[in-house]
Structure 1
Amino acid sequence: MSSYVGVDGCKAGWFAIALTDNDDAWSHGVYDSAESLVSQYSNASQIYIDIPIGLRDGGSEGRSCDTAARKLLGSPRASSVFTPPARPSISADDYQTASNTNSELTGRKLSRQAWGIVPKIKEVDQLMQSDSNARELLVEVHPELLFWSLNDQRPMQYNKKKPAGQTERLDVLRRWLPKTTDEIYQDALASYLRKNVARDDILDALVAAVAGCQSNGNMTNVPEPPEIDPIGLPMRMVTPNLKDQASHGRN
């Protein structure tokens, strides 16, 4: 039995949803570190995580996967794909130092949004360098790109933090996981405080798990072939290959 795990960063750490390929067995949890996350799901087929993996050391061109994702999503969802910092910037102790370093290396200041998740970027980057199992299991995804793929390559219309956006995304998930989408979502809502795990954290983790499960882990790299960063990590996002699946899922 194969299992696929979707992960999103949350205020409490990392929120994960695991699905098996029979669609009926599922679980969720919150982990305080990426290391404990990988340890918990060491037997998973793949762990799809919404965090940049693979960073440039500098240069003005940015990662081609970010550029490709924005092009596929179009306005206004393209704005959800931010440019991650250059690797030397994530070692800074404060925002101003990090922003200045990034400006010197790339010509771009570091956004406050990017700085807000630098600790998580750094955590995963260090784990990928030190843990061969993490390198095998962890794959970067972008939730909006996954919703685009599961929605017949059409981007979501509404912001994921708004009720209309949450309803829209749940509707897409129900198409592919009709038996358990609402059960998983409601159970997760009841299990955690919103200050620790937000509604959109649950949706983002769930779409990653659904994408992996519905494609049986058959994913397409964006771009293909992916670029490789200076330490050997692929700079890519993946989307599910759904050509052999029915438009409304397997059941």
Structure 2
Amino acid sequence: MNSEFVGVDWSSGAWVAVAYSDGRDDPEGFVSEEISEVWEEFGESASRIVVDVPIGLCEPSDSGRCACVADGDGELSRECDNLGRSVIGQRYRSVFTAPCREAARLAADGAEHSEVSDVNRSVTGKGLTQQAANISAGIVDVEDLLLGAGASERFVEGHPEVCFRAFNGESLCYSKKTALGVDERLSALEAVPEYSDGDWRKVVQQLNGTGFTIGMDDVLDAFALALTACASDEEYRRLPESPPEDAKGLPMQMVYRSKMPLIE
């Protein structure tokens, strides 16, 4: 069986996947409303799946089960979020603070943002952005899959901006929503051996006719995650280097691909 290396981006209610295979010349594009369908498509053959949603969440500090770190004001956050912001420079706002588990579950169930934010504040010491609340359904779906399917060893968290930063060798300058940002990210992908010129066009053509409206930025994010999944043991790295586990046993980390660590 061929080994697949898959990147998955959450895109406004759809999961966009790009897969490279050691037995196939061209990458494969796939899109679905359910993360479980991504697992059904690639789970048996995947060596590694890198997904762009938080895995491993905060619990109340007095529970004795929280692996988050506290700042000077006592506010809790995941160390990987803090490190991710530190390595991408001026793009740091793209790494938002992940919700605590209770807030994520509430948001996924359709609770009002004010209630979700208040619960998050009671656990971590700070409210929750609307953006973080908006992806909570995806966070919960991934967590349920990992806890139910035993996929956690091969299904790991990555952040596209951290991955692009590692490929590029320096911080990116432009938003992924701009033409200059697209050009900047394509140039970063072209520095990775598995990527061939025009791979993005092949995937876009495969996604055409699926009934989903997928942005170019989401396709490029999925590519960054897929190419990170392709990393050799020597290039496969984590933020932090030795990630803690949350109360469910899930690692709190962001993976990336680089010959040298982004943080010494």
**TM-score per shorter chain, which class?**
0.7 to 0.9
Per the alignment, residue 66 of structure 1 pairs with 81
Give the superposition deviation at 1:196: 2.2
Aligned pairs for 1:1-251 (under 5 A) are 1-21=2-22, 24-42=25-43, 43-59=45-61, 60-74=75-89, 76-92=90-106, 93-94=110-111, 95-132=113-150, 134-152=151-169, 154-177=170-193, 180-182=196-198, 184-190=199-205, 191-192=207-208, 196-215=213-232, 218-242=235-259
| Residue deviations 1:120-173 (CA, integer Å, cap 9, x gap) | 0111111122111x2122110011111111112x11110011110001100111
Give the superposition deviation at 1:33: 1.0
Contact between 1:51 and 1:140, CA under 8 Å: does it hold in 2?
A: yes
Contact between 2:244 and 2:251, CA under 8 Å: does it hold in 1?
A: yes
Amino acid across the alignment from 2:121 = S
1-structure distance, mates of 2:204, 2:13: 14
2-structure distance, mates of 1:217, 1:196: 37
2-structure distance, mates of 1:192, 1:67: 37
Amino acid across the alignment from 1:211 = T
- The RMSD of aligned alpha carbons is 2.1
Amino acid across the alignment from 1:30 = V
* SS, match of residue 254 in structure 2: strand
* SS, match of residue 135 in structure 1: coil
Q: Indicate the percent of aligned positions where both proteins have the same amino acid.
A: 32
Give the superposition deviation at 1:179: 6.1
Contact between 1:11 and 1:195, CA under 8 Å: does it hold in 2?
A: no
2-structure distance, mates of 1:179, 1:224: 26
Count of matched residue pairs: 239
2-structure distance, mates of 1:85, 1:12: 18
2-structure distance, mates of 1:27, 1:181: 15
